[in-house]
């Protein structure tokens, strides 16, 4: 009689994805509340906000969403140049840390600017970081979780759950991976909304720390096989 396989557990890629997902939640919360209601991670929502601004004739507001879109696309383009190279994931996460540090330093220098170049610089640095992260998440490759937008992940969670109930079969491990990543995004949004109100310096500097931790996980020799 064959022995039952050991239960699958969340591993290093999952922990990295949780850190990246929490960073995305932080980016969207800060951008929406402090950068004139834009998203720098969730581009579907950002495109909707861009369309609203154009449709209502708020052209200045539209430029904020457009800056986020251009920053995100730029981040993806930069990551595309590195993803096929040796240790590409490490390079991409390293670049994201640099952009997030630049973002934090800009905030330390300017605070939350109401308009002008400082505002666009903050939006661009945040959005470029999220563009880089969207490619990094593909390389980490945890159950198809993109880390920067969770609409498709939520669809997959509900679809898999209902199908498993209907067929009376065990829930797949991938469902657990997707659900914990979704919770990490939500947790990041909740925690950073609190920090933004009470301890803003942490809200603006911790994203770089979270991504640096994810990078550290893939920097150690033991992570070579996973990267």
Q: Which domains are assigned to the chain? A: 12-221 (1.20.1250)
* CA–CA distance, 163 with 21 (Å, rounded to integer): 26
Q: What is the pLDDT of residue 172?
A: 83
Q: What is the pLDDT of residue 147?
A: 66
Q: What is the pLDDT of residue 179?
A: 87
What is the sign of the dihedral through the CA atoms of 181, 70, 129 and 118?
negative
Q: What is the pLDDT of residue 184?
A: 93
Helices (H) and strands (E) in the chain, counts: 8, 0
User: How deeply is 98 buried, as exposed, middle or buried, from its count of CB atoms within 10 A (0-12, 13-18, 19+)?
Assistant: middle
Q: What is the pLDDT of residue 166?
A: 84
Cβ contacts of 215 within 8 Å, gap of 6 or more: 90, 93, 94, 97
What are the angstrom distances between the C-alpha of 43 and each of 38, 65, 69, 102? Answer: 9, 9, 7, 21
Q: What is the pLDDT of residue 192?
A: 95
**Average pLDDT per consecutive 10 residues, the chain (227 residues; last block may be shorter):** 60 86 94 93 90 92 94 96 86 96 96 94 97 91 70 81 86 83 92 95 96 86 45
């Amino acid at each position: 009689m064959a022995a039952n396989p050991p239960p699958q557990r969340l591993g290093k890629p999952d922990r990295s994805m949780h850190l990246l997902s929490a960073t995305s939640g932080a980016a969207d919360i800060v951008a929406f509340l402090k950068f004139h209601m834009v998203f720098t991670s969730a581009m579907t929502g950002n495109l909707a906000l861009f369309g609203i601004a154009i449709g209502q004739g708020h052209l200045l507001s539209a430029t904020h969403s457009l800056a986020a879109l251009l920053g995100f696309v730029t981040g993806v383009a930069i990551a595309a140049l590195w993803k096929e190279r040796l240790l590409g994931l490490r390079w991409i996460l390293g670049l994201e840390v640099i952009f997030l540090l630049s973002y934090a330093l800009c905030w330390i220098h300017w605070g939350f600017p109401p308009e002008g170049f400082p505002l666009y610089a903050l939006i661009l640095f945040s959005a470029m970081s999220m563009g880089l992260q969207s490619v990094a998440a593909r390389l980490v490759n945890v159950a198809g979780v993109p880390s920067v937008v969770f609409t498709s992940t939520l669809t997959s969670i509900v679809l898999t759950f209902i199908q498993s109930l209907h067929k009376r079969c065990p829930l797949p491990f991938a469902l657990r991976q997707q659900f914990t990543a979704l919770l990490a995004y939500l947790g990041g949004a909740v925690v950073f909304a609190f920090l933004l109100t009470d301890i803003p310096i942490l809200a603006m500097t911790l994203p770089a720390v979270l991504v640096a931790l994810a990078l550290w996980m893939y920097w150690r020799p033991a992570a070579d096989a996973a990267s």
